[in-house]
Amino acid sequence: MSIQHFESKARMSRAVVHNNTVYLCGQVAKDTTQGIAEQTRTTIEKVEELLATVGSDKSKLLSVTIYVRTMDDFAEMNKVWDAWVADVTPPARACVQAHMAREEILVEMSVTAAV
């Protein structure tokens, strides 16, 4: 059984690959001073970059859990999300409202994908 950890620190690894599946740690926006649309875009960019690091991409998404600080942002976040998955078969997905680790974080994504 092979388990590979990527970009590990004391608390967590940014990605873990096991049995041709990658599990990403929660990804948040590059710049949390922006609004929900931009935070969603840059969170997706980070997901894409991390997937590429392990030899995967959005066409191999299996499941995504999206956490939003408020459901008031749900429609605007979905506009960005829908554009991103428009050219692939979308993954299983859940979206929940959650208290974030920092007040300025509006969205966080937890991703599982095939490698």
Full DSSP string of 101-114: SSTT--EEEEEEEE
d(CA 62, CA 75): 22
**Stated length of the chain:** 115
Mean pLDDT, residues 85-97: 97
d(CA 101, CA 49): 22
| pLDDT value for 29 | 97
- Answering whether pTM is above 0.85, one says yes
| 86: pLDDT strictly greater than 90 | yes
d(CA 58, CA 85): 8
| 77: pLDDT strictly greater than 90 | yes
Summarised one tens digit per residue, pLDDT across range 26-59 is 999 999 999 999 999 999 999 999 999 999 999 9
d(CA 49, CA 20): 18
Q: What is the mean pLDDT of the chain?
A: 97
Closest CA to 27 of 72, 59, 71, 58: 58
